[in-house]
Amino acid sequence: MTGWLRRLRPRPAAPSPALWDATRARAALVARLDPDRDRRLRALAGEFLHRKTITPVAGLALDDGQRTLLAALCCLPLLEFGSEGLHGWSQLIVYPDAFRVNRTHVDAAGVLHEWEDELIGEAWEAGPLILSWADVESDLDTPDAGFCVAVHEMAHKLDALDGVLDGTPALPRAWQRAWARDFQQAYDGFVARLDAGGESGIDPYAAEAPEEFFAVCSEYHFSAPALLRTGLPTVAAHLQRFYGPSPLE
Ligand SMILES: [Zn+2]
């Protein structure tokens, strides 16, 4: 009975050909997908637009073309994983530019520290995904520079699906073990090289924490895959399997 009901429920409509053509014209990472993955991304973007509320704030307005573009970029990391990667949250909040957030932390001595961070994106474990539109546009202007804030924040969402934000997404058990081992080794090596003053071409922000390492490397997989493969080959191999081939290869 439920199966029958489910079949009756219409699939969310994919973006119209005009909107999708405009998305491909603006986003090289979408334009360079092969026809099969392009079809999959378009369907995923339709599902994203159906399931997520996109809320522009602080005076920003977004038209249908910009919303479709955001949905497409956010769904790039789901090409292999599928729409289960959209589970557990409902809202994409978009600021016009980098945004300030207040942070607090109580240290071991019980002292409350408060500070302000300026962010271009943020993903709460079970809350909204937040992006700066100016930074999304800057990623689109330089698609092979190693940056893609939408992919970065979606990597955090995939990471958090198993309940722990630790740089290891939900995977079959054997792969998860190999992933955790290889990423830890690569992360430790990356931090050690950085501490010794070495330069890998990969954003040093990746050294912040294992979960940032995964999110930053995900950006390189999509927008500078050759650099990632040279600098961090084992990580590049896992990401190739997890996300499928980079559109830039
Ligand atoms: Zn991050």
194 backbone dihedrals φ, ψ, rounded to 5°: -65, -45
- Predicted confidence at residue 8, as pLDDT, reads 58
Q: Is 31 exposed, middle or buried (0-12, 13-18, 19+ CB in 10 A)?
A: middle
Portion of the chain with pLDDT greater than 70, in percent: 96
Q: With beta carbons less than 8 A apart as the criterion, state whether 63 and 106 touch.
A: no
Helix (H) or strand (E) holding 84: none
Predicted pLDDT of residue 6: 58
Distance 219 CA to ligand 1 centre (A): 11
Torsion, Cα 34 36 41 47, to 10 degrees, reads 170
pLDDT < 70 positions in the chain:
1-10
Structure confidence at residue 1 (pLDDT): 44
| CA 212 to ligand 1 centroid distance, Å | 5
CA of 81 to the centre of ligand 1 (A): 20
CA of 211 to the centre of ligand 1 (A): 7
Distance 168 CA to ligand 1 centre (A): 14
Largest CA distance in the chain: 63
User: Ligand 1 centroid to 241 CA: how many Å?
Assistant: 21
Query: What is the predicted pLDDT for the residue at 102?
Result: 83
Q: What is the 158 CA–ligand 1 centroid distance (Å)?
A: 12
- Going from the C-alpha of 221 to that of each of 11, 14, 89, the distances in angstroms are 30, 26, 25
Quote the ligand 1 centre to 3 CA distance (angstroms): 39
Distance 23 CA to ligand 1 centre (A): 25
Beta partners for residue 213, in sequence order: none
Q: What is the Å distance from ligand 1's center to 52 Cα?
A: 20
How many Å from the N-terminal Cα to the C-terminal Cα in the chain? 45
Angle between helix 64-75 and 133-141 (nearest 10): 70
Q: What is the pLDDT of residues 72-124, one digit of tens each?
A: 999 999 999 999 999 999 999 999 999 888 888 888 888 888 888 888 888 87
What is the whole-number distance in angstroms between the Cα of residue 136 and the centre of ligand 1? 15
Smallest CA-to-CA distance from 180 within 213, 150, 218 is with: 213
175 phi, psi to nearest 5 deg: -65, -40
Residue 162 neighbours by CB distance under 10 Å: 13
